[in-house]
Structure 1
Amino acid sequence: MARTEWDPETLPDLTGKTYLVTGATAGLGFFACEQLTAAGAHVLLTGRNPHKLVAAKAAVKRSTPDAAIETLLLDTSNMGSVRAAAATARARGRLDGLLLNAGVVHPPKERETVGGHELVFATNVLGHFALAGELLKPLATARGRMVWVGSMSTSIWKHVPTDPELREGYTPWRAYVQSKAATTALALEADKRLRAHGVPVQSLAAHPGYSTSGRTRGVRGVNEPTRRTRFFDNLQAPITQSKEQGAWALVRALVDPAAESGEMYGPALIARGAPRVATPARRTRRSELGADLWRSCETATHVRWPFDRARRAAS
């Protein structure tokens, strides 16, 4: 399929494919699951709240009654939860794709830690690094793909994340943007390492533009913005889009057969629009940044990606 022919509202047939989506009980993750199941995919919808998992699964079933969807408890800020979820996912069989979407979007005003690590970095970065490593073998067996979710905000960020856990100089904005710069840099670093080890898994990045809940259709138990939220979000209509549309770039990066490892996808108009190939922020493309972050993640999570075993599993 040529890139210019991509229609985000008419995906290719995904019957027989299985995808795991993190942070899927609301927002981008939920709508990505909805789009994937509508195209015939089997989806593992994950989240950290069991009640929200039930509500999200029911909502997907309302839109696609025959959806092949399962739920899985996963808190990416908790390494024990990551390992348990990965073990369950491996036991369930085939895995064609991993959408690393979960994240803290509105960080706390003061620095908080979980398991000894800064909350935003642990949730948005460390958990996904560990999960991708734990699921590398099944992804390699299926010759699959992983997609790391970044943000357009990294393009206006002037600093290099040399202190990824923000032991000094913490602010909510810095915590969020720095974590997204890290996920993008790790996506590019993963691509390099997977290629170097001959592992048939693709690593891509994607960002959703400026997607707001107030411009998104209501979904019971999933997206129920107040009238106030809708009013203020609609004032920004020229530069925003819905969460459904924000999920388009993530889903394209995950399933477009023409997409290539190492690429990034985002909205055509940066903040909104149809999904297309995008350019990662210059600072995230620095090879030394990716290598430094990789070592930091290995140290923090005690996870080493099993490149050699993954390559053998795929042969």
Structure 2
Amino acid sequence: MREFTLSDIPDQSGKTAIVTGANTGIGYEIARHLAMKGARVVLACRDEDKARDAIAEIAADAPDASLDFLALDLADLDSVARAAQQAKEEERIDLLVNNAGVMMPPLGHATAGTELQFAVNHLGHFALAAQLVDKLAENGGGRVVVQSSIAHKSGNIDFDNLDASKYYARSPFYSQSKLANLLFALELDRRLRAAGSPVASIACHPGVAATELTRHIGFAALFTPVMKIVLNTPEQGAIPALQAATDPEAQGGDYYGPRGLLEARGNTSGRAYATRRARDEALAKKLWERSEELTGIDFRI
């Protein structure tokens, strides 16, 4: 498969992209490069001050860009609903990049009492996509891009312990949330195709990049400098999502990621490896139904 680089991003003039978690790290780079290619970019973030700072920085690289802030707290379904309603006021939405996430925090809870990583990384984005999929279909077909992780490979969905009442371990619960992301992206694609929708659902992962996402790791102060030397920069980590969002050859159901060092690094992206569990349609259907129950949202296409 051919390599995809930042220079391969086609002109995005006339398109509108919503990028969650766009104020820092990989999300910031996704937003920045879409803006530099002419897209109107809406930064969907929890912290308005940080988002406004990011907008100012992106504007320095893309002076003519149309940039805006959308208040979004993925741990709060009311916030997700308000954000979706505001987003629907956009003239058009062509790209929904579900990028935001939390990684290995202390035990916390959010949507319907579920553990924080599952609630934010999966359920919040599930709810957001459910409320925007019709808007994405209005202009001939947009794309939903879902950020997963190589951590999905060790993931398992423990439906009997989504609230972590039986046990909690940071890494397994992170892997669970990332498996949920990939299961959702592939199931969404199947449902979109079955419904004849023009919207495409495409998954990606950034490899391992030096970002603020590692702030909850106890040895991050030592780990992050090493990552900056040997693994991906946030800009490199953004390439798979940018390919999923913009590559004319990308199709629904694709999964992109770096190809070097066990998929952990690389300047280019191609089709990434999804485990058998991530491709389990029965598991994906069960996750979808449970996600509807937990969010109270009937996600029909």
TM-score norm. by structure 2 comes to 0.90
Equivalent position SS for 2:294: helix
- Partner deviation per Cα, 1:115-140 (whole Å, 9 max, x = no partner): 53321111111111111010011111
Q: Distance in 1 between matches of 2:131 and 2:23?
A: 22
The aligned amino acid for 2:94 is D
Match for residue 264 of structure 1 among 240, 252, 255: 255
Cα deviation 1:131-164 (Å, max 9, x = unaligned): 1010011111120110111101122x16444344
Counterpart of 1:50, as a letter, is E
Structure 2 segments unaligned to the other structure (5+ residues): 213-218
Any idea what SS the aligned residue of 1:198 has?
Answer: coil
In structure 2, the partner of 1:311 is none
Kindly indicate whether residue 98 of structure 2 is the aligned counterpart of residue 83 of structure 1: no
In structure 1, give the amino acid aligned to 2:285: A
Matched residue, 1:222: none
Q: Which residue of 2 aligns with 1:312?
A: none
Give the Cα separation in 1 of the matches to 2:228 and 2:114: 37
3-state DSSP of counterpart to 1:166: coil
Shift of 1:194: 0.9
- Residue 202 in structure 1 maps to residue 195 in structure 2: no
Letter in 1 for 2:165: R
Preserved CA contact (<8 Å) 2:258 2:270: yes
Pairwise CA distance, 1:213: 3.2
* Post-superposition offset of 1:65: 1.5
Match of 1:135 in 2: 132
The equivalences for 1:1-315 within 5 A come to: 4=2, 6-108=4-106, 110-113=107-110, 116-142=113-139, 143-155=141-153, 157=154, 159-163=156-160, 164-213=162-211, 232-236=223-227, 239-269=230-260, 270-273=263-266, 274-307=268-301
Q: Check 1:196–1:61 CA distance in 2 against 1; reply closer, same or farther (3 A cut).
A: same
What percent of counterpart residues are identical?
A: 38
* 1:111 positional shift: 4.2
Deviation at 1:168, TM superposition (A): 2.0
SS of residue matched to 2:164 = coil
State the 1:112 CA deviation: 3.2
Question: What is the Cα deviation at residue 5 of structure 1?
Answer: 5.7
**CA displacement 1:11-66 (0-9 Å, x = unmatched):** 11110111100111111111100010011111111101111111111111122111
Q: Could you tell me whether the CA contact under 8 Å between 2:109 and 2:163 is conserved in 1?
A: no
* Code of the aligned partner of 1:247: A
Q: Counterpart of 2:159 in 1: which secondary structure?
A: coil
Q: How many residues align?
A: 290
Contact 1:21/1:101, CA 8 A, preserved across alignment: yes
Asked whether the equivalents of residues 13 and 39 of structure 2 are also in contact (C-alpha less than 8 Å), the reply is yes
User: Against the structure 1 CA distance between its residues 158 and 81, is the aligned structure 2 distance closer, same or farther, given a 3 Å change threshold?
Assistant: closer
Q: Identify if the C-alpha distance between structure 1 residues 178 and 158 changes in structure 2 by more than 3 Å, giving closer, same or farther.
A: closer
Deviations 1:263-283 (A, max 9, x none): 100012111111111121221
Query: Would you say the 8 A contact 2:209–2:228 is kept in 1?
Result: no
Which amino acid counterpart does residue 237 of structure 2 have in structure 1?
G
Deviation of 1:173 after TM superposition, in Å, equals 0.9
8 Å Cα contact 1:107/1:175 also seen in 2? no
Letter in 1 for 2:256: Y
User: Deviations for 1:253-295, whole angstroms, at most 9, x for unmatched residues?
Assistant: 1111100101100012111111111121221111111001100
Residues 1:116 and 1:206: Cα distance change in structure 2 (over 3 Å) = same
CA deviations over 1:204-231 (Å, ceiling 9, x no partner): 11000010039xxxxxxxxxxxxx9787
Distance 2:142 2:51 in 1: 25
Query: Whole-Å Cα distance in 1 between the matches of residues 65 and 53 of structure 2?
Result: 14
In 1, distance between residues paired with 2:163 and 2:17?
30
Change (3 A) 1:197 1:167: farther
Deviation for aligned residue 1:236 = 4.2
Measure the CA separation in 2 of the matches of 1:276 and 1:5.
Answer: 7
Work out whether residues 112 and 294 of structure 2, in 8 Å CA contact, stay in contact via their aligned partners in 1. no
